[in-house]
A = this chain, B = another copy of it.
Amino acid sequence: MEQGAGVTDVLPGAEPADPVLVGRQSERELVASVTDDDDALLPDALGAPTLEAACEAVLLLADQPLDLVSLAAVVRRPVEQVEAVVRGLSAQYTEDGRGFDLREVAGGWRFYTRADCAQVVSRYVVDGQQARLTQAALETLAIIAYRQPISRGRISAVRGVNVDGVVRTLLTRGLIEEAGVEPGSQATLLRTSAYFLERLGISDLAQLPPLAEHVPNYDELGDLVDRA
């Protein structure tokens, strides 16, 4: 290299990379080339191999019964067509004796366990759950109790670990509940439930013992999180 080369001259990346060093790139390029695929933007793109598969995939994730109008909007097909497919799938699962069942409840469709598998699933639920909370769950519950309403993100920031699983457990056990969304971030806020008070043996949050002075309060916490 010549002496006195300008800084811009030595900036890398202007030339194509040495193939020796890049290596193992075929799949990378393959994926990159699909990025521009216009198909996803077509108004009638299904986004799945078949309408049946599309409905199955979406319904698998549905926590609440999903009404056909919403489902039709997601799969971008007429409601009648979607309804026929969903009813067909449901009948097929029943005929095949599947352990799951696609049922219409409260105006929407959702996957449920089949009724004649009730014994095995109740055994799973009862055996698998500990009556006692883990230390991680207790700590998360304590943070929510003293800093409510609070988002998952802020709890994570305090605990230094991901808390999604623990929060879901606390929700399932009825110890906490959702309390709207944070105005700015749109993050779901969490608070303790009446059941929590009952289990702790107090009648009101005001009866929670005060914390020592040194514990950072919510606002400082927010600053810390924001700066992080």
Residues of A within 8 A of B (CB): 22, 24-25, 27, 30-31, 34-35, 37, 39-40, 45-50, 52-61, 63-64, 70, 73-75, 97-100, 111, 113-125, 127-128, 156-157, 160-162, 164-165, 168, 171-174, 177, 195, 228
Contacts and interface: CB of A to CB of B under 8 A. Distances in A.
A75 B119 CA distance: 10
Contact of A164 (B70, B125, B156, B174): B174
A160 B172 contact: yes
Given A49-B117, A74-B123, 12 more contacts: A27-B118, A35-B122, A47-B121, A48-B114, A53-B98, A56-B99, A57-B99, A57-B114, A58-B117, A161-B174, A161-B177, A164-B174
28 contacts: A22-B116, A25-B115, A30-B118, A34-B118, A34-B119, A35-B122, A40-B119, A45-B119, A46-B120, A47-B117, A47-B122, A47-B123, A49-B97, A49-B117, A54-B117, A56-B98, A57-B99, A57-B113, A59-B99, A60-B100, A61-B121, A61-B124, A70-B128, A74-B120, A74-B128, A160-B171, A160-B172, A168-B228
A93 to B, nearest CB: 9
